[in-house]
Amino acid sequence: MKIDGIDKIIIKTLLKDARTPILSIAREVGISGAAIHQRLRKLEKSKLIKGYQMVLNPKLLGYTTTAFVGVFLDSTNQFSNIIKSLKSIPEVIESHYTTGKYAIFIKIICKNNENLMHLLNKDIQGIKGVLRIETFISLEQQINRQVQV
């Protein structure tokens, strides 16, 4: 995907604040709002822009514990059933099919350590095909960013 300087300004502006009005971007760039709108549609159609989303602060909702869990499987042919089961657990917010030690690596958020322990012991280890898990509790997130343009 080839993007020019105007596209970069549009993207950088919306990465800072996706609610920035198109006319505000148009004034900054020096072209019409319609032209900005057209460029956005082109970037969306090319799938460079996957979407727009609101980002919640989980701590303000009571989720104070973040953990990463490496999942070992009995057999890789159970992968899709295990992913389906993990999708049904609301605290599982990311899942990655990985190389190396774990077949699946997930990110979960919990209300507290007691909630985490219950989730690990009952919900995740109770999934048919999960052999065992390794858990890493995040103490603090230092970096959270998008890819740069």
- pLDDT(44) > 90: yes
Of 118, 41, 104, nearest to 68 (Cα)? 104
Query: Boundaries of CATH 3.30.70.920 in the chain?
Result: 58-138
The CATH code that applies to domain 58-138 is 3.30.70.920
In the prediction, which pLDDT does 148 show?
87
Say what the pTM is.
0.87
CATH number, domain 5-45, options 1.10.10.10, 3.40.50.880, 3.40.50.1390, 3.30.450.40: 1.10.10.10
Give the pLDDT band (50/70/90) at residue 76: confident
Write out the residue limits of the CATH 1.10.10.10 domain(s) in the chain: 5-45
Q: What is the pLDDT of residues 88-144, one digit of tens each?
A: 999 999 999 999 999 999 999 999 999 999 999 999 999 999 999 999 999 999 999
